[in-house]
Amino acid sequence: MTIGLRVRVERSRLLEAADLAASITKGSIQDAPILHGVLLEATVETLRVSATNRETSARTSAPSVATSQPGRVVVSARLLALAAKELPAGDVDLAEEHGQLVVTAGRTRYCLPAMPVEDYPPLPGLPDTAGEVQAEALVEAIQRTAPLASRDYALPTLCGALIEFGSKLSVTATDRFRLGHVAVPWQPALDTTDTPGTALVPAETLTLAAKTVSGGGTIGLHYAPDADVLGIVTPTHQITTRLLDSQFVAWRNVLPTTDPMGAVTAPIIELRRAIRRVAAVTNEKLRHVTLRIRPGEITVDATGSQVGGSGQDVVDIDYDGDEMTMAYNADYLLSVLDRVDGTTVHLTMFGPTKATVLRAVADDGTPREDSLHLVMPIRPNVVAAKAA
């Protein structure tokens, strides 16, 4: 009789790996049940947990407390994650017995049906190393940009986030109404100053990667211009994703080049609170707010339709120019303000038909150049039509 895998691992490490595997396999195609599985591989020192949906793959390595029998087994990623979540704290024993994986912790025991391990597809290989970046910097860049990508899968290009490998590593995402761009320092493996590479990555995958590698340390990025995958690697995690086969929008062409109507410096928290307060009483479908900007203050107004309400709030700002009025979708404006770093935002307005540029403010009071966000205003005729 063949003895199957037998390994002991700490419950929190198993839960982390199982949760990641369940996230990867959640969208697997129905006619390939093996892709709903997670591959467990036990060695003398490590339990390796792998999952793939053919587009995105992940591998997590957790130190084993003890391994009495190395081996491999495939079980449902969803069931393993559900079981790991309910297990008591402490060590967990995994043992393959009679076509099942027996999961035991304390007096709790689960039996999960095994799948044919020989049917499990190999994970894609990694391209060459493109460079290294601090996990904190990459996670921040992703969190401040990727949520602004589109969720309209009829426009796959806008569902991606553009990574540019240049003298700095940058991440950019947009849904046509909002845009975020953040650049961070990194250590490229080759000189990329003259010919920076680009990779268009599904924004959802980047968001998942940010949650996975947020523990700190250094991240290795694996990318090659002729490869169709990007690899994100830490000592305990490896995530690979196929790149989107489309051209990202020429977003720099959207940046206004004309003279601005005016520029405002405002406290982010106070401005966000004012917009939320005022927008709370508007009709759910209208959701527009008007910013009436005067020297020293912004008056935030919202007027709904007959079934909506109205509200007003005032925020002190740094501005000494002419009076001007701008209107925005409240949710779009808030989502962008939520992703501006720091306590103060610099808003540059170019009129109702061009994007408003938002930048974080540096310690010396000047707008920072390493990041920017855009939000499209609402044209006055559109505001009037919606309020009618």
Tokens of 43: 């060695």
Contact 363, 374 (CB under 8 A): no
What is the rounded CA–CA span in Å between residue 136 and residue 252? 26
Q: Give the angle subtended at the CA of 264 by the CAs of 261 and 270, to the nearest 5°.
A: 140
Tell me the per-residue pLDDT of 78-103, one tens digit each, with 9 for 90 and over.
Answer: 999 999 999 999 999 999 999 999 99
Write down the CATH superfamily of domain 255-387: DNA Polymerase III, subunit A, domain 2 (3.10.150.10)
pLDDT tens string, the chain, 388 residues long: the values are: 456 899 999 999 999 999 999 999 986 666 688 999 999 999 999 999 999 999 999 999 999 999 889 999 999 999 999 999 999 999 999 999 999 999 999 999 999 999 999 999 999 999 999 999 999 999 999 999 999 999 998 889 999 999 999 999 999 999 999 999 999 999 998 765 556 689 999 999 999 999 999 878 999 999 988 889 999 999 999 999 999 999 999 999 989 989 999 999 999 999 999 999 999 888 667 688 999 999 999 999 987 655 557 899 999 999 988 999 999 999 999 999 999 999 999 999 999 999 999 999 999 989 999 999 999 999 865 444 454 4
CATH architecture, range 129-252: Roll (3.10)
Query: Where in the chain do CATH 3.10.150.10 domains reside?
Result: 6-119, 129-252, 255-387
What is the rounded CA–CA span in Å between residue 337 and residue 328? 12
**CATH classification code of 6-119:** 3.10.150.10
Q: What is the pTM of this model?
A: 0.91
What is the rounded CA–CA span in Å between residue 352 and residue 96? 64
What is the rounded CA–CA span in Å between residue 169 and residue 368? 16
**Helical (H) or strand (E) element with 15:** helix 11-25
What do you get for the CA distance between the two ends of the chain, in Å?
79
